[in-house]
Amino acid sequence: MSALTLYPANQPQNGNTFRDFAGIAEQLQGIGVQFERWQADCQFSAADDAETVLKAYESSIDKLKQQYGFQSVDVTSLNADHPNKDALRQKFLSEHTHSDFEVRFFVEGKGLFYLHVGDQVYAVLCEQGDLISVPANTTHWFDMGETPAFKCIRLFTTEDGWVAEFTGNPIAESFPTLDQYLTAL
């Protein structure tokens, strides 16, 4: 189940958690973050290739493309047996921004986005069927966990926008990791 925990940015031990979809979506809408649940248009299996996965969600993808003018769409996945999983995890584990949207739809698996907006941190646990759109220039970080397992559809408006600019703020280190978050949930 998806979840949202709202923390004062300086009190990572003091979160208020929402578990219902409407509550999560409403809180996120307040900071310009789109959160949706998508249904597949047709059956597909975990082993299917990217083309089949994209086909299964074609109507939802087309709607978003029209809304935002996305130029490209791909499917990315990562599993715990990937030799570079630790390095890949570290890459987005520090607070950063980028000039493009970060739009992810979770075909399978899970991940935890942390959005640092004003004096609050919004930790959004995304699971299978969830779409999250983090607006351009929002300070955030992402944890895929010690044993990453996800397959995501990504949407891009530009190729160039996908360069993380790190803020240098060590705030991420004081917040629960995905594994700690799941244990406490």
Contact segment (CB under 5 A) with Fe ion among 30-38, 60-68, 101-109, 124-132 equals: 101-109
Please identify, among the stretches 31-39, 75-83, 99-107, 144-152, the one whose residues bind Fe ion according to the rule CB under 5 A: 99-107
What gap in Å lies between CA 17 and CA 6, rounded to an integer? 6
- What's the closest the beta carbon of residue 162 comes to Fe ion, in angstroms? 9
* HSE toward the beta carbon, residue 37, CA cutoff 13 A: 11
Report the C-alpha gap between 15 and 49 in whole angstroms: 39
Q: Which residue has its beta carbon closest to Fe ion?
A: 102
| CA proximity to 56, closest of 71, 43, 38 | 43
CB of 97 to Fe ion, least distance (A): 8
Strands 102-109 and 150-156: antiparallel
Enter the DSSP assignment of 106: E
Whole-number Å distance between alpha carbons of 141 and 73: 21
| Shortest Å, Cβ 25 to Fe ion | 20
| Torsion region of 52: left, alpha or beta (phi above 0 gives left; psi -120 to 50 gives alpha) | alpha
Q: Total residues contacting Fe ion (rule CB under 5 A)?
A: 1
Write the binding mask 7 to 26 for Fe ion: x where contact by CB under 5 A, - elsewhere.
Answer: --------------------
Contact pick of 7, 56, 70, 102 for Fe ion (by CB under 5 A): 102
Binding residues for Fe(2+): 96, 98, 102, 140
- Contact residues for Fe ion, defined by CB under 5 A: 102
Binding residues for Ni(2+): 96, 98, 102, 140
